[in-house]
């Protein structure tokens, strides 16, 4: 357990010191959302209606930007090979790294969403539901993304391939995230069901994705 | 006593057979130096023992004092890359590996890290970002991992690259100490490392043709 926490702490320290990954992701999020009203015109009703969907899709793309680097630095400097010879199973090391990615990227993006949503005339009453669904859904983004990051580790220009591999896996998270926010405006019952499914998707990916990602990493190292 | 036996080992990289029909034994207390020209398969052999590469034929087995862990988890692998993060200080880098590879209380790890840093002559640079260290200092920091976490098997791939004479001597002394303590060392190298009575394992053209390519040199 101390090894798991040590890796989590190291990755979070590096995320804070390097800073660029989070800055790029947040900046990208802001720019994508800011461009939409310019493209769609100043129809406040339309913007308000599509705001949750836009925020979710932009969040997926922004998180994807930093996912490509998830294992790359450790692969380049040899840390990954040393980790593979540690008592801590590689699966748990992957989980620690994905968790660090969620904390350093997923949570800030989720918290930024309502603020950026103001540009889309997002209904203020939806803010709690938006943050809750994004916090519940973003672990799946980090963990499922870790599989793609591991698979594309040695691929040159792997970023686009990563998006191609991983974005389809995000569809369930997107569907239930949007539907939960949709229900939040109308009836509480629907929100609960969608929110729980969203949580279930995240929990399932936290359990399954590290196994797949670790297998992919072993393949990449051989 | 720890033994490592490789029996009729063959390893393929892509479509090329790099190692074919290789058998050797490494005993605790005897350094096994893997020598051979570039491309002879030294790195491949070290990585196969560490478990990164699956041999296409043959087996590698550990005998004597064997727990439930496989070779990979009982070895220190020091490859061409150092595993050093540029944005962490030298001490932070080492403390992370000490915790990750071995564990222990916070104070014990700090003591071990301080000791290892001063041993490798990096004591004054403990709080210095590792990215600003020279290539040789980074190498030393990478090797300091050997002394912060105890592992019975050391797999060293060209450990002396970019080390100065004094550091090479220090490494040789560490290896001797490890061997005296009942450890096992397998090193791929171009240099004799200044070790007493090493066992040589020659890889290369003849080794590929002759399966019993193990020979000792004075």
Residue B1: band (very low, low, confident or very high) from pLDDT cuts 50, 70, 90: confident
pLDDT reported for residue B66: 63
User: Per-residue pLDDT tens for A11-52?
Assistant: 999 999 887 878 888 999 999 999 988 888 888 889 888 888
pLDDT reported for residue B216: 41
Q: Is A154 on the interface with B (CB under 8 A)?
A: no
Angle at A202 between CA A15 and CA A149, to 5 degrees: 50
User: Per-residue pLDDT tens for A161-213?
Assistant: 888 999 999 999 999 999 888 887 776 677 888 899 999 999 999 999 999 99
CB-CB neighbors (< 8 A) of B92 in chain A: 10, 13
pLDDT, chain B, mean: 84
pLDDT reported for residue A20: 80
In chain A, positions 28-87, which contact chain B (CB-CB < 8 Å)?
73, 76-79, 81-87
Mean pLDDT of B64-76: 75
Residue B209: band (very low, low, confident or very high) from pLDDT cuts 50, 70, 90: very low
Q: Do A6 and B81 touch (CB under 8 A)?
A: no
Q: Do A82 and B101 touch (CB under 8 A)?
A: yes
Which residue in the set A10, A18, A85 is minimally distant from B96, CB to CB? A10
Q: Do A78 and B103 touch (CB under 8 A)?
A: no
**pLDDT of B203 strictly over 70:** yes
CB-CB neighbors (< 8 A) of A7 in chain B: 96, 100
Is residue A144 within a helix (H) or strand (E), and if so which, with residue range? helix A127-151
User: Per-residue pLDDT tens for A59-111?
Assistant: 999 998 888 889 988 998 889 999 998 888 999 999 999 999 999 999 999 99
Cα–Cα distances (Å) from A108 to A21, A26, A55, A113, A222, in that order, read 12, 8, 13, 9, 35
Q: In the beta sheet, which residues pair with residue A38?
A: none
In three-state secondary structure terms, B28 is coil
Burial label for A10, CB within 10 Å (0-12, 13-18, 19+), is buried
Q: What is the CA radius of gyration of chain B?
A: 17
Structural domains in chain B plus CATH codes: 3-84+150-216 (3.40.50.300)
């Amino acid at each position: 357990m101390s090894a798991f926490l040590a890796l989590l702490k190291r990755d979070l320290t590096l995320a804070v010191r390097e800073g660029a990954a989070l800055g790029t992701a947040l900046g990208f999020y802001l720019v994508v959302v800011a461009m939409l009203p310019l493209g769609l015109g100043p129809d406040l009703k339309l913007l308000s209606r599509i705001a949750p969907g836009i925020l979710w899709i932009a969040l997926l793309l922004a998180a994807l930007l930093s996912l490509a680097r998830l294992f790359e630095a450790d692969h380049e400097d040899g840390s990954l090979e040393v980790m593979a010879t540690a008592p801590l199973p590689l699966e748990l090391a992957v989980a620690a790294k994905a968790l660090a990615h969620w904390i350093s990227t997923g949570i800030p993006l989720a918290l930024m969403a309502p603020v950026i949503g103001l540009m889309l005339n997002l209904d203020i009453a939806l803010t709690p539901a938006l943050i809750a669904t994004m916090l519940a859904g973003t672990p799946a983004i980090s963990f499922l993304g870790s599989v793609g990051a591991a698979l594309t580790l040695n691929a040159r220009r792997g970023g686009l391939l990563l998006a191609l591999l991983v974005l389809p896996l995000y569809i369930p998270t997107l569907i239930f995230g949007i539907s939960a926010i949709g229900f939040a405006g109308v009836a509480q019952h629907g929100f609960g069901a969608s929110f729980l499914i969203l949580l279930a998707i995240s929990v399932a990916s936290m359990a399954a994705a590290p196994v797949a990602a670790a297998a992919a990493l072993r393949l990449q190292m051989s | 006593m720890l033994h490592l036996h490789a029996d009729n080992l063959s390893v393929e990289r892509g479509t090329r057979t790099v190692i074919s029909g290789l058998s050797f034994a490494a005993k605790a207390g005897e350094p096994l130096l893997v020598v051979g020209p570039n491309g002879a398969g030294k790195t491949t052999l070290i990585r196969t023992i560490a478990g990164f590469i699956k041999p296409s034929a043959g087996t590698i087995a550990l005998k004597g004092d064997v727990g439930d862990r496989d070779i990979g988890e009982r070895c220190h692998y020091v490859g061409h890359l150092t595993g050093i993060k540029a944005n962490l200080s030298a001490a932070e880098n080492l403390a992370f590996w000490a915790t990750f590879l071995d564990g222990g209380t916070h104070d014990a790890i700090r003591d071990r890290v301080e000791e290892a840093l001063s041993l490798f002559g990096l004591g004054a640079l403990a709080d210095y970002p590792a990215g600003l260290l020279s290539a040789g200092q980074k190498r030393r920091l990478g090797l300091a991992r050997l002394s912060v976490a105890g592992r019975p098997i050391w797999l060293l791939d060209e450990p002396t690259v970019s080390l100065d004479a004094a550091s090479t001597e220090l490494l040789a002394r560490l290896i001797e100490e490890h061997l005296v303590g009942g450890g096992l060392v397998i090193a791929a190298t171009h240099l004799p490392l200044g070790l007493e009575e090493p066992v040589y394992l020659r890889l290369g053209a003849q080794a590929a043709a002759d399966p019993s390519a193990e020979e000792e040199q004075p």
